[in-house]
Structure 1
């Protein structure tokens, strides 16, 4: 007698190819994290190679950023009429966070094209090269933080418990650096003009973002609601969530909402690109 309907085993529906491809893209990110020793070593080697046979080595990173912060701080502080004790910490932190964002974008666009030999010879997840770029930027960021510590000791801005918001802000910076490197790295590997385009756009956005200038009360009175145009720039919100807590200032909640929204959208786009084009990187480089 045949088995009853309740006793029959109904096989699960076949898994779609899109679902399997999506899982492979996510698995690549996980596998890359498991290969942490590899990308930690590669990122640190990049820093050593860049400053090989240099007398001061990576300290040139700190010196270059410090000289830029001091020179621009003295010049623009005088022009906009802001005391140096206020403007120098402001511009120093702005440049430190901007350098992390800028280099994550620019080096992310060439992460695969500049590692062609390694990608073709080393059977490693694509995400290893992504984590390598982010780790390298964190090393540079750590060198630049020394400048802020010096400024903190000299000008002594009023730091409150809100300074602890730096840590979730930094976590968002890292997460954004990952998806930015994935998106622009893969796309610029296929379309090499993207790296040149992003270089131009980043330079333009730098001057549109309150980094070497600030929105003073005088500017608000003279421009009125037109100062709200600054808030249309998403990088302004990224800078604020990192800079304001370390200056002892309150961070408005809408800054966090904008950053979280951009992060969610960016991660979604990165997963779609990983799903569709991850396997083609080795052929495009």
Structure 2
């Protein structure tokens, strides 16, 4: 009968999650320090996050609204929210794949749970997101988006929580295997760029509808892209657009499957990461 190492048990995997969360003073401090370090000696500090995202949204919004012949007061809020949400998605994939390699020194020298580095990354991305929400508030007032909002805007809260819950499993899964196989990170970089093009961040699905306004086969193909549904469950309530139940079901299903895969990866390979880095 084959013996299973205690380090490769579900008990140790869940213990790592609990220990990592209990060390929240550490990862809360490290996550905030990451942002301060990036903008140290600057006058505006972390507010450069908001300024950079805002300028990008305005530049792209004005340009593409002209190219696509879209009303600016509708298109600019659409692009702004899309860029804010996409920032979380892309960072989860790109920074998540590098999370353990980037923290090689801490992993080898600091006796802490492996999940600390996952919590740190997700916390940092939440801080970025919180800063960028200021742009959304400006859009609400500047373009009177608030007039289109109804009770469904409150669905943005669970949608955002789901987004960060998925960011965690993505970071765990890709972080572990990118540490073992270093070719995965550049592959994910190319994949993320492809997803950005395929996901309606800068373009709208309305442009794919038939002349009569019916949903065309091209519009249905967009739903095969998983990131579309993550974008949809957050952007729709924030802009007062109709809520699509199908997107919520798909995101919930991916969340469950993703966490199962992430927990299995933690169970099997958690103890090997310090040797792989």
Shared fold (TM-score, shorter chain, > 0.5) = yes
Rounded Cα–Cα distance in structure 1 between residues aligned with 2:8 and 2:135: 47
**Aligned residue pairs, count:** 270
Equivalent residue for 1:211, pick from 201, 215, 224: 201
Equivalent residue for 1:281, pick from 269, 273, 276: 273
SS of 1:221's equivalent? coil
Query: Counterpart of 1:185?
Result: 175
State whether structure 2 residue 239 is matched by structure 1 residue 240. Answer: no
> What is the Cα deviation at residue 60 of structure 1?
1.2
Equivalent residue for 2:151, pick from 153, 156, 161: 161
State whether structure 2 residue 15 is matched by structure 1 residue 30. Answer: no
Query: Counterpart of 1:270?
Result: 262
State whether structure 2 residue 11 is matched by structure 1 residue 40. Answer: no
State whether structure 2 residue 116 is matched by structure 1 residue 124. Answer: no
Query: Counterpart of 1:4?
Result: none
Equivalent residue for 1:144, pick from 132, 141, 158: 132
SS of 2:159's equivalent? helix
Equivalent residue for 1:172, pick from 162, 170, 174: 162
Show CA shifts across 1:79-116 (max 9, x none): 22221111111000000000011112111111111111
Q: After the TM superposition, list the runs of 4 or more consecutive aligned residues in structure 1 that deviate by more than 6 angstroms.
A: none
Rounded Cα–Cα distance in structure 2 between residues aligned with 1:260 and 1:19: 30
Query: Counterpart of 1:12?
Result: none
State whether structure 2 residue 209 is matched by structure 1 residue 220. Answer: yes
> What is the Cα deviation at residue 55 of structure 1?
2.1
> What is the Cα deviation at residue 22 of structure 1?
1.0
In the alignment, structure 1 segments of 5+ residues that lack a partner are 1-14
> What is the Cα deviation at residue 17 of structure 1?
5.4
TM superposition score normalised by structure 2: 0.94
Rounded Cα–Cα distance in structure 1 between residues aligned with 2:98 and 2:8: 28
Query: Counterpart of 1:199?
Result: 189
The CA RMSD measured in Å over matched residues stands at 1.6
Rounded Cα–Cα distance in structure 1 between residues aligned with 2:273 and 2:4: 23
Rounded Cα–Cα distance in structure 2 between residues aligned with 1:18 and 1:80: 58
Distance 1:17 1:280, change over 3 A: closer
> What is the Cα deviation at residue 16 of structure 1?
6.6
SS of 2:99's equivalent? coil
Distance 1:133 1:19, change over 3 A: closer
TM superposition score normalised by structure 1: 0.91
Tell which structure's C-alpha radius of gyration is larger: 1
